[in-house]
Every structure is written in C-alpha cells, then in structure tokens.
Amino acid sequence: MQWYTTGANGKAGARIRAAAGARFPRSTAREFSMSDAVVTRFAPSPTGFLHIGGARTALFNWLYARRFGGKMLLRIEDTDRERSTDAAISAIIDGMRWLGLDWEGEPIYQFARAARHAEAAHQMLAEGKAYKCFATQQELEAMREAARAEKRPPRYDGRWRDRSPQDVAAAEAAGLKPVVRLKAPQEGETVVEDRVQGRVVFPNKDLDDIVLLRSDGNPTYMLAVVVDDHDMGVTHVIRGDDHLTNAARQTHIYQAMGWRVPVMAHIPLIHGSDGAKLSKRHGALGVDAYRALGYLPAALRNYLVRLGWSAGDKEMFSTQEMIDAFDLPQIGRSPARFDFAKLENLNGHYMRASSDKDLLAALLDTLPHLEKGAALAAKLDDSMRAKLLAAMPGLKERAKTLVELLDGARFLYEERPLPLEPKAAETLANGGRAHLAALLPRLAALPEWTAAAAEAVVRAYSEETGAKLGSVAQPLRAALTGRTTSPGIFDVLQVLGRDESLARLKDQADA
C-alpha cells in the first residue's frame, strides 16, 4: 500500500525527501514492477482551448508512456455540462495532433461513465464508507460563514455523518434530496508519496468529507477521476500540482474502494513572466495561437520539456532524445516562468535545422493559420513554390518564426511596382538611382543569370567607379525588395530571375 494512516504523531506538513538512490518509495517500486505496463492519461476538461500548461502536462504524460513502453490515454472530463463545449473538445484534440502527441484508442468521455461512477458511490454507501447528507446549500453557506468568522478553515462539520437510519429515512420521506459524502478518516494523516513533490503529509482533520454524488445523482469530479483512473488501469497520474491536495482526498476514495493508488506525480504549474499566474498576456494561449504565431511543433515541444525538467546541460532534444532521457526524478518542484524569447530562439534553431523542403512544407501548411498568409496563398503556384524553395536558405536564417519567414519572403510574391519602405526610398533618392541606371545595361548583358555572374558584374562596377560595394548593393536591395534588409542581394537577383529583376531595377532607375 502506498497510502496509510498513522497516528497523529507525525509532524504535520512535513515532507521528507527520499534519500538519493531511494527516490522511489519502495512500496511503489514493488507494486509497479517492470511487468506492469505503464498507463498514463491526459485528462483535460473541455471548457476552453488546450493552453500551454495543459500541453506540457500532456507532453510529460506522453513522454513518460513512451519512455517506459506504455501508453497514454486521453480522457475528456466533461462532467461540467454547463461549461463543456464541443468546440473545446476539438480544439484540444486538434492542438494535441498539431503538437504530435497521440494517444491510445478513442478518447474517453467522462460524462458517459456517470452510471459507473454512481455505482461506485453506492457501493461505498452500502459498505458504510459513505453517507447521505441532507444539509442544504444555505446550511453549507452558514458553515463557511461561521468558519470564516472564527478564522477556522471552511469545512463541512459532518452533521450527517453519523445520523441514525431513522433520521435519514425521515429526511427522505420529507422529499429532501441528499448528496453522498465520503466518510473520510478524521484522525491521523494521509500520505501522498509523490514522485515529484516527495512525501507529502496531510492531517486528516484538514480534509473533510467530500461530496461523491450530487443531489441530482451525478458524480463529482473527485469521484469520477478516481473511478476512471482505476477502471482505465492508469498506473501513473501526472498532472498539475494544483491537484496535490486533491490527491490526498482521492486517496481516501481509493482507500474506501480498496483500490491501489496509482503513482502520483504533481508537476509545478507554469507561471507568467512576472511570476504570477499565467494569463493570456503571458502566453496562456491555446496551442493554436502558437501555431498562428509561427512556432514549429518540435520547437514548442523542446521548449516545454525544458520548462521544469532537465537532463544536465542539454538544451536541444529531438523527440527521440526526449523520450530516451525523460523521467520523473528530473522534474523540478518550483514553478517555471514562461519566456517567449527563449521559445523564439529555439524556434529559430529548429527552422535553420530544417531542410529547405521541410520548412517550405511547414510554411505552406501553416499558411491558413497565419494572419497574413492569404497574400502568399493567393499567389501560390509551381513557379512560386520553386522561388520559395530557392530562396529558403537565405530566408530561414533570418527568421525566428514562420511569421517572420513569410514576411521575409514578401519580396518574392509582391507585384511590381514594389512599394518602398521609407528607408529604401531614401537609399534610392540619395544617389542610388544613378548606380541602378549604370548597372542596368551591364546586368542585362549577362549571358547567364546567376548569383555569381551578377556578383562579378557588380563588384567590377564597384571597383571601376570606386563606389563602395555597400553603396551599390543597398540601392539594388531597395529596388529589388523594397526594403533595406533582405537575403544576400545576389541570391535575390538569381531567385527573382532575369526578367523580374531587370524590370524591378528599371522601375526604380526610371523613377
């Protein structure tokens, strides 16, 4: 057994970290030996999109299952009928697919299992491990009020815990609808052996008799989770540490049902850059937002895995490397702050490491999700694809996101006459046009249109006239791209091709 109740002689709240080499509670190690296949689950409630914290939780569950040859299940916790939506369900599923996190079998819908949850509650009722409570909302509210006034923790006072069958019968005869409450231990303490948090001890007096079944007969989250995790054969519960106290309460349910408690791993939540709870402003966006921001799934995975988890100094992890290195002991216990700058840096690495072909595919696939993607989508044909591919080496090292990549590629699909950015216009106005006019015939005379050939001509011109290369290259850039920054200008000439290049140069030389 992993949980047990001791006399109230232990120090409340004490957490003893397992010594090195014995980090896993012995009992756990024995119960989940190598012969037990690991089963993890990701259990989001579909009341909103898949946010970044949820995505990391899913990733950790997925990695752990992969690492130990097990499987991850997906359970949609839709018991809150008011707030659960189909849109949220598809957003979650879509988000996981995009992130490359798959799960075993069909998603399990918790609400569909309500009858089974109720059955468990009735079993506990029959065995005297739970009881009917007829306290009204008003009474409960009064209890909380009183507790607050006396500066006591708000707690159910157990007024129906030991009522006589007659009292219960009378209340039922009066037409009152009871909730079913767990008869939780009141003495001693409950221990959660957590693989991340260590051994966490809760005095039972602080954990009250939780509601199992609502007065309408529907199960509560607390019951549903335990019954589902048990029935689904979940061996490892990896979730946010906001559930840590729930783990103690849920332990009581496992205890009452006589079920084995799964291995618990409560991972710290992700905070915003100011240390406060993650809000939209901080990056608590749905994963779809990260897609729209132009991040690559592999980069986001890499970023997320290093948030709260580490393997020495290693920063970059391929998916396989992550799987091979991932384990619970290396998860830290302090909350991490979300940092867009690092994500962006990582994304840049992944973009540069991608083959031109793959990156083009990623860009094209993401186009529908990018704010300004339509402009390129409208121009997309084989010739445009070829240009994008040819320009990719120069483009990708100048972009940290697909959004920047798209922006950098704009000169490829913009129509003549090109709009000029102010600085580009300035470059042309300050003597740039003269260089263009001089260069135009030389370029036009080129027998073959390549970057190298163009470079030779421009360099020769620069030497002959004594003009610095930069003072010639910048006007070219301005005329060809409308900007003052771009990939190498000779590559631009080559990618654009002879006709388009000469036309753009002429546009500006004549202006």
Partner RNA sequence: GCGACCUUCGUCUAUCGGUUAGGACGGCUGCCUUUCACGCAGCAAAGAGGGGUUCGACUCCCCUAGGUCGCGCCA
**Interface with RNA in residues 340-369 (CB under 7 A):** 341-342, 344-345, 348-349, 352
Does residue 251 bind RNA (CB under 7 A)? no
Does residue 332 bind RNA (CB under 7 A)? yes
Query: Cα(184)–Cα(236) distance, rounded to whole angstroms?
Result: 24
Helix axes 489-496, 498-509, angle to 10 degrees: 120
The least CB distance from residue 141 to RNA, in Å, is: 9
| Pairing mode of beta strands 108-109, 198-203 | unpaired
Does residue 135 bind RNA (CB under 7 A)? yes
Task: Tell me how far CA of residue 75 lies from CA of 58, 225, 399, in angstroms.
Answer: 11, 10, 38
In angstroms and rounded to an integer, the radius of gyration of the C-alpha atoms of the chain is: 32
Which residues in 170-209 contact RNA (CB under 7 A)?
177, 179, 197-198, 200-203, 206, 208
Closer of 70 and 76 to RNA (Cβ): 76
The least CB distance from residue 483 to RNA, in Å, is: 8
The least CB distance from residue 199 to RNA, in Å, is: 8
H or E segment and range at residue 88 = helix 86-99
Query: Cα(108)–Cα(52) distance, rounded to whole angstroms?
Result: 22
Q: Which of 115, 151, 416, 448 binds RNA (CB under 7 A)?
A: 151
Helix H, strand E, coil C: the string for 311-329 is CCCCCCCCHHHHHHHCCHH
Task: Tell me how far CA of residue 312 lies from CA of 306, 325, 500, in angstroms.
Answer: 11, 10, 52
Annotate each residue in 390-409 with x if it binds RNA (CB under 7 A) or - if it does not, as one string: -------xx-----------
- Encode burial over 132-160: b for 16+ CB neighbours within 10 A, e otherwise: bbbbeeeebeebeeeeeeeeeeeebebeb
Closer of 224 and 263 to RNA (Cβ): 224
Which residues in 15-34 contact RNA (CB under 7 A)?
15-17, 20-21
Annotate each residue in 85-114 with x if it binds RNA (CB under 7 A) or - if it does not, as one string: -------------------------x----
CB-based contacts of 436, cutoff 8 Å, min separation 6: 428, 475, 476, 479, 505, 508, 509
Which residues in 272-331 contact RNA (CB under 7 A)?
273, 275-277, 306-310, 312-313, 315, 330
Query: Is 280 in the active site?
Result: yes
CB-based contacts of 21, cutoff 8 Å, min separation 6: none
Does residue 115 bind RNA (CB under 7 A)? no
Considering the candidates 280, 372, 423, 468, report the single residue annotated as catalytic: 280
Binding piece for RNA, criterion CB under 7 A, among 98-106, 157-165, 241-249, 384-392: 241-249
Annotate each residue in 442-471 with x if it binds RNA (CB under 7 A) or - if it does not, as one string: -------------x-------------xx-
Are residues 214 and 220 in contact, defined by beta-carbon separation less than 8 angstroms?
yes
Just list the catalytic residues. Answer: 280
